[in-house]
Chains A and B, each alone.
Chain A
Amino acid sequence: MTPSCLTPHLSRLTRLVFCAVLASCATPEPRTPGSATGGTLVILTTGDADVLFPPAGAVTTSADVSGLIFSRLAELTSDLNTVDDAGFRPSLARSWEHADSTTLVFHLDPHARWHDGVPVRAADVAFSFGVYRDTLVASRFSPNLAAIDSVTVRDTLTVVYHFARWYPEQVYDATYHTKVLPKHLLDTIPPARLSSAAFGRSPVGSGPFRFVRWDAGTGIEVAADTSHFLGRPQLDRVVWRVVPDFGAAVSALLAGEGDALAIIPQAELRDRVRASPDLRLVPYASNGVAYVAFNLKGRRGQGVHPIFGDRDVRRAIVMGVNRTAVVRSLFGAEGEVPVGPTARAQWIWSDSILQLRYDPREAGRLLDARGWLTRPSDGLRERAGVPLRFTLLLPTTSRARQDAAVLVQAQLRAIGVDMRLEPLEFALFEQRSAQKDFDAIFQSRTLDASPVGILQLFGSEGARQSNYGSFASPVFDSLTARAIAAPTRAAARPLWRQAIGTLNDDAAAVFLFSPPFSAAVHRRFEGVSIRPDEWLATVAEWSVPPQARLPRDR
């Protein structure tokens, strides 16, 4: 990496180091009420964490909490530019450079400390990579690390990543998926036991907040690491409180029992938050997308599907769905109709991407042309006595998808398509989707900052993975391959957009909704900004002015 690229980071870095020095010089003494730092952020969440060992945590609450306790080598900045190195700012690594096209060298911040006081060293980084890749740990992040051959320690503060090949998102892959873990606390535990070790119940990290306590089913508390090497966070504490019911969570928020909620999908609940004098809605770009994928092959991936094998029928169905109405009904005016398997948080998003418009008349014409004719008895279509009927698999755990399915069902009925719903509980749903045992499936994805994940969903290569519908298009494959290799975002964008356009044109799926992402945050918090992929990424900079503090801010 050229120094010019690093300059802006260095200036910020010096400031941070300066702060850190100040913080470490000042003996931690009881703060007076008027002091600049202080405050408690109470986050309401509908689910408890499972395990606070980052490679193993599977639920969002775990990721949120681990995000504050642990740190990465470098942090993505808020525009989520995963391609250019300029999209990252230093964290545990205060700088990095590309030694050659497949070698990336990180220089650790010598002041970085684990919460137990032990310094963070290169060996920790290499150890962490090993843990994430260990088959016995079976981390779900390990596929994201496939392009990294190895990680080696050059000296105590220098760690080297070796890649199999050159590509623009090397820094992203090296830093984003893995949190650095404390080797000195974990290397005595057999890899197979790591996920279940006591560490996952009382983790020690190097992030801006240190773990305090966890009452199962009730809540988790972390407190500011006052001697953090990047400067202590403004807030004293962050607390997660589990409120399993969403409506109740919003009410608890309105009643002042909490300060923040990550997402409020329903319009009427957002209106209630808006009406509250204490709360503020902070919208941020959505990184979620939900879509109905058609199974192009027969059940269990055998043969060709009798309905969805036909591109025109798929197109008719897409045109028969009024996606805008679905989104309005589910989310109100703020909901978004996705342009493809992407979301506004990704840098490839564009409203200009080719899409099939809602056109029930054209849909009917297409179906007529393919021989699916309306029978007078009930207005449904059939061909040679076979009704135009299919089953949509969806998980009972997702309220939004169930609601959307009910809406789509009624819309398709209007063009003579009989869609049956098969709600399954999540484990069963996942099993059936992995077995490709379905006609159509209602998927939902939380997208990474990088668009490469799209390949898993619709690329031919992904057929082994989450491309459950077995969609295959050589045009799409070649366009995405070129996009991935494009050295800059400017070069990559048109390629991605074109690829998604082919997906739409082939009607691989009905891209139904992107839930609007709006956090509700109490007004007393200042400096609130939200990074769409990790809504708490900047929480260390949130603060509460002394005069606005509540009793719980103490």
Chain B
Amino acid sequence: MSRLRGLWARFRARRIAVAGLVVVVLLALAALGAPLLAPADPLAQPDPVALQNQPPSPEHPLGTDRFSRDVMSRLLYGARVSLGIGAAAALLAAVIGAGVGVAAGLGSPLVDQLLMRGVDVALALPRVFLLLLVLALWEGAPAGVVIVLLAVTGWFPTSRVVRALVQRLREAEFVQAARALGAGRWGLVRRHLLPHLAPAVIVAATLDVGNIILLESGLSYLGLGIRPPAPSWGNMILDGKDQLFSTPWVAAAPGLALLVTVVAFNLVGDGLQDALDPRSEK
């Protein structure tokens, strides 16, 4: 715990990273509070003939799309998808990566070799192609499946980092001492390794969120993510693409939202990374 506290203290000293965190928190609040904040129902079509493709106005701060739906409201609800999938998948990937890393780090050399060579191969798999393939072939995968897919194809780097860390820790005095005192493997992991691994895993997960959000939006843009009419930022851009030249705001707004979100997560991730390993500071 004290290691996490130390991480937080060093993180707090980085003003730009804290700014990123503030944006992330605001976005999360906006996503959670979408029903309260949104000016309109994101699915409501007040008048698809008269009110379609309205430019931004006080009533519709970001205009309306071609179904007369309020873009602002859809943006807020879309945040739930992007943030939710991004956070959940990154977390899951971190957990899987940590698990495999610990297993490889503590396991016998054979287990270690097997796992790490497997990771070598997995890292060389074309991730986007495989995701595209699976999501296109099994059309209409629910959000849960998308999350699992993104996580299952994304934990490899984390496992390497964790394994290296575990191998270092394994030789550390306090771990050796605990071993000598007869600590069981699981007790060792829980009591001695996890506290040391937690910061690194948190950093890896945070740095991954932005990446996953981008990936998810790309899949949605190809029509493979969240199903319409439910808004996700990727499918909103897809919606707006056909009328890019006549009503650019429909596609521009979700893109900017993605940009801001991913920048914020990357700032937090960079800040955490620097806090974790001050030498890496640029």
The interface of chain A, by Cβ under 8 A from chain B, is: 245-247, 250-251, 266, 268-269, 272, 325-326, 328-329, 396, 399, 402-403, 406-407, 409-410, 421-425, 428
Contacts and interface: CB of A to CB of B under 8 A. Distances in A.
Nearest to B246: A268
Given A325-B48, A407-B48, A247 B245 contact: yes
B53 A268 contact: yes
Given A402-B228, A406-B228, A423-B140, A246 B67 contact: no
Given A266-B243, A396-B139, A422-B140, A410 B223 contact: no
B241 interface: yes
A268 B246 CA distance: 7
A407 B45 CA distance: 8
B67 A329 contact: yes
A72 to B, nearest CB: 36
Contacts of B228: 402, 406, 421, 423
23 contacts: A245-B241, A245-B242, A246-B242, A251-B245, A266-B243, A268-B243, A328-B48, A328-B49, A329-B67, A396-B139, A399-B242, A402-B228, A406-B45, A406-B67, A406-B229, A407-B45, A407-B67, A409-B229, A410-B45, A421-B228, A421-B229, A424-B139, A425-B139
B14 interface: no
A245 B66 CA distance: 18
Contact of B136 (A247, A250, A425): A425
Contacts of A269: 246
B139 A329 contact: no
Interface string B75-90: 0000000000000000
Nearest to A326: B48
A396 B242 contact: no
Contacts of B66: 329, 403
Nearest to A399: B242
A410 B43 contact: yes
Given A268-B53, A329-B48, 19 more contacts: A245-B242, A247-B243, A247-B244, A266-B243, A268-B243, A268-B247, A272-B246, A396-B223, A399-B242, A403-B67, A406-B45, A407-B45, A407-B67, A410-B67, A421-B229, A423-B139, A423-B223, A423-B228, A428-B139
Contacts of A399: 242
Interface residues of B, dominant DSSP = loop
Contacts of B243: 247, 266, 268
A409 B49 CA distance: 15
A266 B244 CA distance: 13
Central interface residue in B48, B136, B227, by most chain A CB within 10 Å: B48
How extensive is the interface on chain B, given as a class?
20 to 34
B242 A266 contact: yes
B70 to A, nearest CB: 14
A307 B227 CA distance: 25
Contacts of B25: none
B153 interface: no
A378 to B, nearest CB: 13
Nearest to A425: B139
B52 interface: yes
B247 to A, nearest CB: 8
A547 to B, nearest CB: 32
Contacts of B48: 325-326, 328-329, 407
A247 B238 CA distance: 12
Nearest to A420: B227
CB-based closest 5 A-B pairs: A329-B48, A328-B49, A410-B45, A268-B246, A406-B229
Contacts of A409: 229
B37 interface: no
Interface string B23-54: 00000000000000000000111001100110
A403 B229 CA distance: 9
A403 B139 CA distance: 18
Contacts of A396: 139, 223
Contacts of A272: 245-246
A268 B66 CA distance: 10
A272 B244 CA distance: 13
A177 B224 CA distance: 37
A422 B139 CA distance: 9
A437 to B, nearest CB: 13
Contacts of B43: 410
A351 B206 CA distance: 62
Nearest to B69: A406
A396 B139 CA distance: 10
Contacts of B53: 268
Contacts of B245: 247, 250-251, 272
